[in-house]
Amino acid sequence: MMAAIFHKRGGIENLKFEDVPTPQVGPRDALVKVRACGLNHLDIFTREGSHGVRAPLPHIGGLEPAGEIAELGAEVRGWRVGDRVLVGAATTCGECEYCTTGNDNICPYRKVVGVNIDGGFAEYICVPASILLPIPDALSFVEAAAAPSAFGTAWHMLVTRAAIKPGEWVLILAAGSSVGVAGIQVAKHFGCQVIATASTQAKLDKAKELGADYLVNYAERNFAHEVMRITANRGVDVVFEHVGTDTWEKSIASLRPTGRLVTCGGTTGRFGQTDIWSVFWKQISLLGSFAWTAKEFYPVWDLVGKQVFRPIIDRTFPLVETAAAQQYITDRKQFGKVVVVN
């Protein structure tokens, strides 16, 4: 099969498009003919070996494959060759204290598809059949591949960790990112009032279309000051953080007393100044959020299937141009999701 593969970590020149052996199907595995695979910044970090990511070598990236079952292991039940499937985010041990308490997203033995095991930038992927999910008829392969990480992440942040309630004010940072696009939709689905930030008018217009109630151009204005103006000096109940160093102080300053800051990442850096005094006198909660659990993905996938949650597709690239697709997201040219198709 053909695959976008790297034999050593580093720059984009290490990503080759090569003929490699098609994986062998074990008794509990499914071989999936990949039709679409969503791109993520984690694909870049995996190829570079940056941000502490160490994939085995040689390696095929791609976290979000969707396709059709091509072959099944002898012990697999409940699936047929030809079924349209989404490949779940990771395999987990199912036995540790996190797995057995519904926190499989932090299983220490978790193997992320496209990071710890080969992913979807290939004609085929072989995974345990237990991590497959059916793709609803209403969704194309591209839509299916564009949804999981954005909506799974946003749901775990807002619903599970921050426990948003109707009427609350939620500040969504960097609304042009895939997770920002999903964050707006999840917050609006739960009846929150959303303030969205972005750096261009075009991105703000799209955030408005997705349901954001108030818009702030953070390149032109201090977003914490704008939050206080919009909320009549009250502040927001929840800040949806994934930017990191560049926004951290202003994010904390945007919170009302008893507010919650929930973060799933730090794309601009891992360290930020925290005003400890404001944390205690405002009784602020700082909440970390990592990926999503198998259980909570069922309602997410149901809402994606019903097209209540709509992934925004920026553009697609053919599989042979996976390197160009990775460069495109490295250059941050997209609004929403970039997907490789085959």
Q: List residues near Zn ion by CB under 5 A.
A: 92-93, 96, 99, 107
**CB closer to Zn ion out of 64 and 104:** 104
For residue 99 the two structure tokens come to: 């797995």
**CB closer to Zn ion out of 99 and 215:** 99
- Chain length of the chain: 342
**CB closer to Zn ion out of 98 and 121:** 98
**CB closer to Zn ion out of 107 and 150:** 107
Start-to-end CA distance of the chain, whole Å, equals 12
DSSP state at residue 254: T
Phi, psi torsion values for 331, nearest 5 degrees: -80, 0
Buried b (16+ CB within 10 A) or exposed e, 313-339: bbebbebebbbebbebbeeeebbbbbb
Q: Token match 């408005």: residue?
A: 208
Closest distance of CB 109 from Zn ion, Å: 5
Closest distance of CB 293 from Zn ion, Å: 11
**CB closer to Zn ion out of 92 and 231:** 92
315 in Cβ contact with 166 (< 8 Å)? no
Closest distance of CB 134 from Zn ion, Å: 24
Give the whole-angstrom CA distance, residue 26 versus residue 21. Answer: 15
**CB closer to Zn ion out of 99 and 115:** 99
CA Rg value for the chain: 20
Residue 277's H or E segment, with its range, is: helix 276-281
**CB closer to Zn ion out of 101 and 233:** 101
Q: Strand (E) positions, 273-332?
A: 285-288, 313-318
Closest distance of CB 89 from Zn ion, Å: 14
**CB closer to Zn ion out of 19 and 95:** 95
Residues near 301 by beta carbon (within 8 Å), at least 6 away in sequence: 86, 133, 147, 148
Phi, psi torsion values for 250, nearest 5 degrees: -70, -30
Identity of the amino acid at 334: Q
Give the whole-angstrom CA distance, residue 218 versus residue 99. Answer: 40
Using Cβ positions, the residue closest to Zn ion within the complex turns out to be 107
Closest distance of CB 115 from Zn ion, Å: 16
Give the whole-angstrom CA distance, residue 185 versus residue 155. Answer: 10
**CB closer to Zn ion out of 93 and 286:** 93
Closest distance of CB 217 from Zn ion, Å: 43
Closest distance of CB 101 from Zn ion, Å: 10
Buried b (16+ CB within 10 A) or exposed e, 162-186: bebeeebbbbbbbbbbbbbbbbbbb
Closest distance of CB 60 from Zn ion, Å: 24
Closest distance of CB 91 from Zn ion, Å: 10
